[in-house]
A = this chain, B = another copy of it.
Amino acid sequence: MTKKNSALPSSVIRRLTRYLTEVQMLRERDVEWVASHELAEGLGLTSSTVRQDLTHLDFSGTSKRGYETAGLERVLNRVLGADTEWRMVVVGAGNLGRALAVHEDFPRRGFKVVGVFDADKQKIGMRLGSVKVRGMRELPGVVRRERVDVGIIAVPAHAAQSAADLLIAAGVRGLLNLALTHVIAPRHVAVTESRIVSTVMELTYAVKCLGEPALPPGAGA
């Protein structure tokens, strides 16, 4: 609160989320201290980057010992807002939408899915964990009543913008867009995009660039 708080670069934020999960795992194993070079190794970074990143936090390491995991976890949780509950809805009850609605990692980290919506009547009423799939008409009411912060867009590309518009009009402040198209949102709504198909294409490009393996592992003759 006493610290300048807004808008760390997204490159830094992306890594902070990884430090957090790493530190949580260290804590489960009762590791009390971690050095920048250890975090770096575990995550494929340089120790310099780690130290640079952690200076953005209201938290200091100790010479010779590194960073106390308990304190680091606490401050990362606070900066990332992972210490508060975030209420989400999922739009689209296809394979991806259904998987996210019941994804165990979400409640574990303070993300609560309070509703799932789909335009397809066949899907309405379907039970997903603790929620039922509802029709799109119910979306605005649920978003308001349940004070939903974030909408997850898991619909086909052609329906993504109208799902976004509906969520924005209902009052969400963030959108996670999983559809293949870019969605437009006003400045007061944050948008993050994540596309599994694009990610796989990035991977296969990298594979292609590796070239054919000199020797397939375990090749006999």
What is the interface of chain A, defined by CB distance below 8 A to chain B? Answer: 5-8, 10, 13-14, 17-18, 20-22, 25, 42-44, 79-82, 86, 88, 94-96, 98-100, 102-106, 109, 111, 144, 149-150, 157, 168-169, 171, 173-176, 180-182, 188-192, 194-211, 213, 216-218
Contacts and interface: CB of A to CB of B under 8 A. Distances in A.
B7 A209 contact: yes
Contact of A103 (B5, B95, B102, B209): B95
Nearest to A77: B201
Nearest to A171: B217
A102 to B, nearest CB: 5
Contacts of A8: 205
Given A182-B43, A199-B176, A150 B217 contact: no
Given A17-B198, A176-B203, A198-B21, A210 B190 contact: yes
Given A25-B181, A207-B190, A218-B171, A10 B202 contact: yes
Contacts of A203: 150, 174-176, 190-192
Contacts of A174: 203-204, 206-207
24 contacts: A8-B205, A13-B205, A18-B198, A20-B201, A21-B180, A21-B197, A42-B182, A80-B205, A82-B204, A95-B98, A96-B99, A99-B99, A100-B196, A105-B196, A105-B197, A106-B200, A109-B197, A149-B207, A150-B204, A174-B203, A174-B204, A174-B207, A188-B213, A190-B203
A17 B200 CA distance: 10
A8 B157 CA distance: 27
Contacts of A144: 218
A135 to B, nearest CB: 20
Nearest to A173: B207
Nearest to A177: B203
B6 A209 contact: yes
B111 A200 contact: yes
Given A103-B96, A200-B150, A210 B173 contact: yes
A96 B94 CA distance: 12
